[in-house]
Structure 1
Amino acid sequence: MKQLLELLGFVALVQGVLGLVHEFTDWHVGLVQRLGFLNGHEVYASVALVVLAVALFAAAENRKPG
């Protein structure tokens, strides 16, 4: 379970950072800008993904291995 939380946290962190990179540099990377229902709210969604990643890492840290 700990490894699953860490994996999900890593994916959320990468997608959140890539969404922020896309918004501020116009590089076409990440998944957030490709979701139509987030149109106009990509920055908020990216920040939420980064916060979610931090929460998932904290939850994984509190779990026992295995």
Structure 2
Amino acid sequence: MKQLLEVLGFLALVQGVLGLVHEFSDWHVGLVQRIGLLDGYEVYAGVALIARAFALFAAAESRKKSG
């Protein structure tokens, strides 16, 4: 479970950073800009994904080590 949380946290962090990079540099990377529901809210979505990534990392860290 700990590894799953870490992987999900990493994916959320990468997508959040790529969403912010897209907004501020016009590179066409990441999934945030491809979701039509988020039109106009890409920066907020990127920041929310980064915050969620840190929450997932904290949850993974609080889990007991398996094995």
Q: TM-score range by the shorter chain?
A: over 0.9
Aligned to 1:61: 61
Structure-2 separation of matches of 1:3 and 1:22: 28
Alignment of 1:38-53 (within 5 A): 38-53=38-53
Aligned to 2:31: 31
Matched positions, count: 66
In the superposition, the TM-score normalised over structure 2's length comes to 0.96
Q: CA deviation at 1:53?
A: 0.2
- In structure 1, the gaps of 5 or more residues are none
State percent identity of aligned pairs.
Answer: 77
Structure-2 separation of matches of 1:32 and 1:43: 9
Aligned to 1:17: 17
Structure-1 separation of matches of 2:16 and 2:64: 27
RMSD: 0.5
Structure-2 separation of matches of 1:18 and 1:25: 10
Q: CA deviation at 1:64?
A: 1.0
